[in-house]
Amino acid sequence: MYSAFFKSILDRLIASVALLVLLPVFVIILILLKVANKGESLFLQPRPGKGGKVFHVIKFKTMNDMTDSQGELLPDSKRLTTIGKFVRKTSLDEIPQLLNVIKGDMSLIGPRPLLVEYLPLYNEVQKRRHEVKPGITGWAQVNGRNAISWSEKFKYDVWYVDNISFLLDLKIIFLTIQKVFKSDGINSATAATMEKFTGNTHL
């Protein structure tokens, strides 16, 4: 009953209130990123949602578009601006996704929406992460975020799908707040962001 009905209502209600409260912060970040990026401060990115259906996630543009002499984009660590680092470290980069929750594309809690290009790389168990709406935060996020391996991340995602409940969501919210204050798991062990998923045959 919770996952089928009440979760969606609570998502939209809480996201609407949170967006109103955070509106001044939202506007300030938009202005700062526009200056730092010398251009856009928001962008849309296609991501698979529930059932693998593609939607466009709304994101702050925390990296600029600097290129090398061959016209290729520089590594993420080189393009991540100072304000972009701060926005990511404080998890303020998740604010625009409240709009996705209000639209119904996402949930507050659920597996994070990954890249569309990963869809054909999932095994049958990993695909189960798409049985629920993707979330702004989730069980994998409070258990390591980008600091854990892809295998671990998928295990947490599928575990959440099998154990979804109001109390679990409440726990994840409190743990997320705790993680934000500690700035845990923002980066992987070897990169400024998470390394790309290349596929594997086990969970």
Average pLDDT of the segment spanning 26-35: 94
Please give the pLDDT value at position 71: 75
Cβ atoms of 50 and 133 closer than 8 Å: yes
- Mean pLDDT, all residues of the chain: 89
Q: Is pLDDT above 60 for 201?
A: no
Burial class (CB in 10 A: 0-12, 13-18, 19+), 181: exposed
116 assigned to some structural domain: yes
In a domain, 11, yes or no: yes
Residue 201 lies in a domain: no
Three-state secondary-structure class, residue 55: strand
Split at pLDDT 50, 70, 90, the class of 185 is low
Q: State the first-to-last Cα distance of the chain, in angstroms, to the nearest integer.
A: 28
Virtual CA dihedral for 173, 177, 179, 182, nearest 10 degrees?
-170
pLDDT for res 144 = 83
Residue 11 burial by Cβ neighbours in a 10 Å radius (0-12, 13-18, 19+):
buried
pLDDT band at 190 (very low <50, low <70, confident <90, very high): very low
Place of tokens 């993420």: 76
pLDDT reading at 183 higher than 80: no
pLDDT, tens digit, for every residue of 38-97? Answer: 888 999 999 999 999 999 999 999 887 777 778 788 887 788 888 888 998 888 988 999
In a domain, 190, yes or no: no
**Residue 135 placed within a domain:** yes
Mean pLDDT calculated for residue range 125-138: 96
What one-letter code names the amino acid at 106?
Answer: M
Q: Is residue 192 part of a domain?
A: no
Summarised one tens digit per residue, pLDDT across range 94-114 is 899 999 999 999 999 999 999
Q: Return the pLDDT at 114.
A: 95
- Structural domain including 85 reads 2-182
**Domains contained in the chain, number:** 1
pLDDT reported for residue 74: 81
pTM attached to this predicted model: 0.85
Q: Categorize the per-residue pLDDT at 199 as very low, low, confident or very high, splitting at 50, 70 and 90.
A: confident
Task: Report if residue 191 sits inside a domain.
Answer: no
Q: Give the residue-averaged pLDDT of 185-202.
A: 63
| 120 found inside a domain | yes
Q: How far apart are CA 43 and CA 116, in angstroms?
A: 16
Give the Cα separation of 203 and 198 in Å (integer). 13
